[in-house]
Amino acid sequence: MTGASGHLGANLVRRLLADGHEVRALVRPSGPAARTAVEALAGLPVRRTVGDVRDPAAVAAAVEGCEGVYHCAARVSTAARGHRDIHAVNVLGTRNVLEAARRHGVRRVVVTGSFSATGPTPGRASTERDPHYPFGAHTPYTRSKVLVEHECCKAAAQGLDVVVAVSTAIIGPHDYVPSRMGRVLLDFAHGRLLAYIPGGFEFVSVQDLVQGHLLAMERGLSGHKYLLSTEFRTVDQMMNLYARATGRPKPRLRIPAPAMGVLARLAEGPRSVLTPHREARFTPAAVRFLRSERRADCSLSREVLGYRPTDITTAVEQAYRCFADRGLLERRGAAKPAPRPAGRRARGAGAVPR
């Protein structure tokens, strides 16, 4: 596995171990990712191989002898900068993993994809058949994930058994980095989230995403991709779930998305100078994602993989409890159950995608 210290990876490792698999994880030799891996994998019987996905030799050494590979590592960002590093990690790193898997006779590779690489379809939910529209305003991350799918298609054409499991916006426990949605929950719990914007997106419980990856390894068709989402939620609905989990009221200030988009663009320049290594909560791209209110049609995953998503309410409660257990926020009593929306396709706003 690559990306074992990430939000998906940390949960997938635990599930694989619980299912009786031996797991080998490629972990970074130094830096923040290496420090995160220490906590994410602490006490787990995982064989660690030190290396970087950008190093073909290190990847080959990690893959050799493995029956299957889960490639979950990625540089995730909604910022407009950092394109060279994003390309090196996401595109060239994926190429290294796929070439190593083909060279060492790996049975199957499951690569984590991004919903942002699937084409937008105004008026209806997107499916796996909807191609990416290349002429829009895309982030370097989105462009890189399109190229990741291209690398997978090339590898499949060359005979490698590879499947793409497409993630939407992840929420749930064992979020050690933490993720964008995890940071929002922590900010909410500490009273630092002073405002939010309307919008919406498809969210996936990390447990559902793990199950989807396992099903893709077992039942997916080589060269195909499968969308994995739990349900669409509005930002207002997510704020209500966070309020119930933390015991805090949701922010009163609800900034119109167009105004927030202007503010995000104006702040980009100064932020890149003053805090170049810290990504903003709401970049212009993040605002666009929320305003798009994109929907995902997971019918293919249900029919071919047998994918059965659960609910986001439980995922939020699990994320809150996990942060509390790690001492990152104060436990405010048992989270109260939240009512589900009237329908999965309710109108409104949601979350920033993976």
DSSP state of 251: P
Q: Which residues are catalytic?
A: 141
Name all contacts of 82-90 with Cβ < 8 Å and 24+ positions apart.
82/140, 83/140, 83/143, 86/140, 86/141, 86/144, 87/140, 87/144, 87/147, 88/54, 89/53, 89/54, 90/141, 90/144, 90/145, 90/147, 90/148
Cβ neighbours for 197, distance < 8 A, ≥ 6 positions apart: 235, 254, 255, 256, 257, 260, 282, 287, 290, 349
3 state SS of 139: coil
